[in-house]
Amino acid sequence: MGDEKISLKNISMRDAFFMNLYEIAREDPHVMVLSADMGAPALDRFRRDFGNRFINVGIAEHNMIAVATGLANEGKKVYTYAIAPFITSRCHEFTKVDASLMKTPLTLIGVGAGFGYEDSGPTHHTTEDISIMRALPGLEILSPSDSVIAGKCARYTYNSQHPCYLRLERQKVPLIYGDDEDVNQGFAELRKGSDLAIVSTGNMVHRALDVASKVGNLDVGVIDLYRPKQISPEFVQALSQYKRVVSLEEHLLAGGLGSIVAEAICDNRLPTQLKRIGINDKYIYKYGRDALHRAAGIDEQSVIAAVQNF
């Protein structure tokens, strides 16, 4: 386990997840992975050692959900894997009927959340997944910000008795957490502040931390909501410590993280002002993530300005 923790510094969230899932699969012969014509370095070992428990369904994401449901109903612990826009939008009706409605405990793994497939255009951007997936009753969303949390999501989803959607950043990102973080908490206050807090999820947590350290005239806290559908009393308590809160996401504002935070504030009657920063009701035709972020107004300088003017 010690060597594995060291290696997390140099691997993606996806590979951290599959490394941990491999160890679980060694314990439980019922663990299966279905892929929609997608690979991963860490998945190669799973396919090599547990070949009869790996199925490549081809470019047929919706059919993959149906096959996974049948296997899960026969006692298998099934993980489905595809790029994030296809396993969410393309499969939505199948996920609703087969996973959500039937309460099937399978896990959907989407890689390339947000602008992860930056040069592939809006068809391959995933800027509405939180919105559409959180509308499905009983389905949980996991949105890790580093490889430590992503790795821990393997055991968490394995133990889950309900369907889960795991949204993963495509690129490698710096580590934030130590191995003692408990995913069951659902969030972490990474930095305490006295003026305002930035709430973020996924890869944008790194931007929130950078912005918090560069807004010199303000003492800014940062909260990572890595289980964005589960709003705990502890998360509400953390919000209540701030008079001003900023939500930051690489996602459309409609129904995303900002909406979740707004609902938490309103439903609990918190005397907290909220500023939402995200993508405002548009598709963006740019190449490169930096250009996409500038066009969306979620680049570092734009976020710093928005926080300072709040």
- Four-CA torsion 81, 84, 86, 89, nearest 10 degrees: 120
Question: How far apart (Å, rounded) are the C-alpha atoms in residues 282 and 100?
Answer: 28
Confidence at residue 42, expressed as pLDDT on a 0 to 100 scale: 80
Angle 225-228-232 from CA coordinates, rounded to 5°: 80
Confidence at residue 40, expressed as pLDDT on a 0 to 100 scale: 81
Confidence at residue 171, expressed as pLDDT on a 0 to 100 scale: 94
Confidence at residue 6, expressed as pLDDT on a 0 to 100 scale: 42
Residue spans of the chain under pLDDT 70: 1-9
186-308: CATH architecture: 3-Layer(aba) Sandwich (3.40)
Task: Tell me how crowded residue 150 is: count the other CB atoms within 10 A of its CB.
Answer: 30
Fold matches, 2-168 and 186-308: yes
Confidence at residue 125, expressed as pLDDT on a 0 to 100 scale: 98
CA atoms within 13 A on the CB side of 108: 38
Confidence at residue 2, expressed as pLDDT on a 0 to 100 scale: 36
Helix (H) or strand (E) holding 200: strand 196-200
Confidence at residue 4, expressed as pLDDT on a 0 to 100 scale: 41
Question: How far apart (Å, rounded) are the C-alpha atoms in residues 62 and 93?
Answer: 8
- Spans of all domains in the chain: 2-168, 186-308
Domain 2-168: give its CATH code: 3.40.50.970
Q: What is the pLDDT of residues 177-194, one digit of tens each?
A: 999 999 999 999 999 999
Contacts of residue 153, Cβ cutoff 8 Å, sequence gap at least 6: 17, 142, 144, 166, 183
Instruction: Please give the model's pTM, rounded to 2 decimal places.
Output: 0.95
